[in-house]
Structure 1
Amino acid sequence: MTNSSLTNCDITSDFRHTLYAVTYTVIFIPGLLANSVALWLLRSFINKKSKAIIFMINLALADLLHVLSLPLRIYYYINHTWPFRNFICLLCFYLKFLNMYASIVFLTLISVQRYVFTTNPFKAKGWKRRYDVAISICVWIVVGAACLPFPIYRSSGLNITSTSCFADLGTKKMNTMTVIIMLVGAELSGFLIPLIIITYCTLKTRAELKRDSLRCENMKEKHKALRMVVTCASVFFICFTPYHIIFFFYVMVNSNIIHSCTVQKVIMDLHPFSLCLASINCCLNPILYYFTASEFQNELAKRGSSVVRVRLMSRESVSSMR
């Protein structure tokens, strides 16, 4: 980092390159396969009345966009140099935050929709698929615009001959008030408000399930809804909560608002780990589709059995020709 306070504190983060390279290598293949298969199967439900399918498709698309940028990240952290254009560096940097906040919004929307439709079945019957499509388009526009400050904030170290990218980028100097306003806005809209909504939907769905357990009305559907909102909450807490807690202090450190060397060292050491946790959501989100949507399980089993039958038939035909 270029801040003088960090230099005076003698903070080194040499382990970051190894950590990022290993993490991104580990999640690339599972993330690519899981989200590709998810998009392949979820598109089969577009014309059906399956709940939250449109949001799931957009969630898988957001994950796939980030996963496709991982090979360039892996190359950089292994070779310690960036031979590509600066625009590509900033684009990959942008896709990381686009994936994070698009995932947060779509996880929140899935939780809200499952909770509302479970507690108010009549709203589910009158809800049109085109509403989900319109909401998804608005999400991409708003989140896409809101994430633009991230690459802009980290683009100060780039020039025509620059060979640095990602974690090694510098930060633009801004006055303290501007930093605080941007930070509070990002934390509120991108973390605290979704956190409150997802927690509320999870607790209320669980309470609804307990309340109706004696009457045994639509219990199977309500159990599915509870599994879905709990899975959304789990992914959110595991992947995004540590990052946003550390990110708040990380920006404060980089802006010379926090001067304690001990605090700076702890924050700068924890930030890479929280960023890696945030990237793991690309592998965890497909669990949401499989374990919470029985239609997804059935379709996966059907497609799998079809592939097996085709292979068996091809083997039999080859054997008969012999």
Structure 2
Amino acid sequence: MFNCTLENGTERDMRNTPYAPVFGSVMMLGLPLNAVSLWILLRCHSLKSPSVVFMVNLAISDLLLVISLPMRVYFYATGTWPLGDKACICFTMLFRNNIRSSSIFITFITVDRLLAVVYPLRSRHLRTTSNAMKAVVLVWLFVLVWNIPESVEFSRFLDKNNESTCFEFCHKLPSTLAYFQPMLVLTMLAVNIVSTALVSWTLHRHLNDSARINNKVNVMMIFAMNLMMFTVFFLPVSLIVIFESWRRARTPLICLASVNCCLDPLLYYFSFDGFWKRKEDVDTSVARE
């Protein structure tokens, strides 16, 4: 059995048509925000700190998601898919890869902030650009390798149905693949919760350090935003496979998950005191990172 029920074509078209303007709005907002953020990160901050490396790759992940949205808009507006099975698999994987890579990169940012705040001296040999680059390469390889078995299962799904069900792919149960994403997101969420608690406790101990109180507020904003990303955008859509009652809300939850790409630029802003300044004006701030 598949873990969701496919509707007939007419009913599906009527139910899905309102999702086209939602995905269109996310695309129109997410493309310029992430493109400008990526340009600023590379031009003003370079790749001189681990956090910048992770944020650059997070912005790239969001842009890949945005690239996949025009075809979702077309699909939900017309109820047809004109590009064939392989293109359908490709665009679906772009969306799924965003949730997986984004959850990992956001967790890396959280752990990097944890080490910088709680273990600033002992973590210097770990928090290097070289180590961040290696971690990023491993993440992308991990995500791409996982696409192989999932794409094979998706191809079988399309063979049994038709191209009008392109973005309605459901894992076949029982399937290890079906539970990979929820386990990944739950694990990353646990790391974020523990890291937030440790950083909050550390900052509370040094609350009287008024010279850096503004920086403390920004640090806690980063952790709060990361937790929101998981609990609001990543977790609900990932738990569909576990909670059967959520399956009818599958497409609305996918819409909600896509909004994460519009909010990630706020994370970059709160991460740097001089986000909009040129590189020579923020060298000191980057060195602190």
TM-score bin (small chain): 0.7 to 0.9
SS in structure 2 at match of 1:83: coil
1:101 corresponds to which residue?
Answer: 100
User: Shift in Å at residue 221 of structure 1?
Assistant: 3.8
Distance 1:62 1:239, change over 3 A: same
Alignment partner of 1:22 is 2:17: no
In 2 relative to 1, CA 75–215 (structure 1 residues): closer, same or farther, beyond 3 Å? closer
Distance 1:15-1:118 versus aligned 2 partners, 3 A rule: farther
Q: Are 1:214 and 2:214 matched, yes or no?
A: no
1:63 aligns with 2:62: yes
Matches within 5 A, 1:133-172: 133-158=133-158, 162-169=162-169, 171=170
Which residue of structure 1 lines up, in the alignment, with residue 53 of structure 2?
Answer: 54
Does structure 1 conserve the Cα–Cα contact (< 8 Å) formed by 2:57 and 2:136?
A: yes
Alignment of 1:77-96 (within 5 A): 77-96=76-95
In structure 2, C-alpha distance between the alignment counterparts of 1:226 and 1:74, rounded to whole Å: 36
Q: Unmatched 5+ residue regions in structure 2?
A: 282-289
d(CA) in 2 for partners of 1:184, 1:74: 28
SS of the aligned residue for 1:81 comes to: coil
TM-score by length of 2: 0.84
Aligned residues: 276
Q: Distance in 1 between matches of 2:21 and 2:47?
A: 40
Larger RCO (alpha carbons 8 Å, 6+ apart) = 2
Deviation at residue 224 of structure 1 after TM alignment: 2.8
Q: Aligned letter for 2:249?
A: L
Root mean square deviation of aligned Cα: 3.0
The residue that corresponds to 1:267 in the other structure is 246
Give the deviation of 1:121 after TM superposition: 1.4
> Separation in 2 of the partners of 1:4 and 1:229?
34
TM-score by length of 1: 0.76
**CA-to-partner distance for each residue in 1:138-179, whole Å, 9 max, x for gaps?**
0101122224444333322435x954243345x5755x3xx2
User: What amino acid does structure 2 have at the position aligned with 1:290?
Assistant: Y
The separation in 2 between residues aligned to 1:296 and 1:167, in whole angstroms, is 37
CA contact (8 A) 2:3 2:171 kept: no
Which residue does 2:272 correspond to in 1?
293
Cα pair 1:228 1:292 within 8 Å, conserved:
yes
Q: Say whether 1:199 aligns with 2:193.
A: yes
175, 182, 193: which is aligned to 2:177?
182
Any idea what the Cα deviations from partners look like across 1:69-96, whole Å, max 9, x if unmatched?
1111111211211111321111001101
- 2-side partners of 1:297 and 1:147: how far apart? 36
| Rounded Cα–Cα distance in structure 1 between residues aligned with 2:150 and 2:82 | 22
Aligned in 2, Cα 1:203/1:217: closer, same or farther, shift over 3 Å? farther
Question: Residue in 1 aligned with 2:286?
Answer: none
Partners of 1:47 and 1:154 in 2: CA distance: 39
Q: Secondary structure at the match of 2:208?
A: coil
Q: Deviations over 1:245-295 (max 9, x none)?
A: 323235xxxxxxxxxxxxxxx433221121111111111111111233223
Change (3 A) 1:277 1:150: farther
Partner Cα separation in structure 1 for residue 164 and residue 6 of structure 2? 18
CA distance in 1 between counterparts of 2:4 and 2:270 reads 48
Separation in structure 1 between the aligned mates of residue 227 and residue 135 of structure 2, nearest angstrom? 21
Q: Is the 8 A contact 1:209 1:219 kept in 2?
A: no
2: CA distance, partners of 1:218 / 1:239: 31
> Given that residues 104 and 188 in structure 2 are in contact (C-alpha distance below 8 angstroms), is that contact kept between their aligned partners in structure 1?
yes
Inter-partner Cα distance in structure 1 for 2:4 and 2:116: 52
The 1-side partners of 2:216 and 2:27 are apart by: 34
The equivalent residue for 1:41 is 40
1:233 alignment partner in structure 2: 227
Using a 3 Å threshold, how does the CA distance of structure 1 residues 216 and 48 change in structure 2: closer, same or farther?
farther
Residue 279 (1) aligns with residue 274 (2): no
CA contact (8 A) 1:118 1:222 kept: no
CA contact (8 A) 1:82 1:164 kept: yes
Q: 1: CA distance between counterparts of 2:3 and 2:253?
A: 24
Query: Which has the larger Rg?
Result: 1
**8 Å contact 1:209–1:223 — kept in the other structure?**
no
2:287 alignment counterpart = none
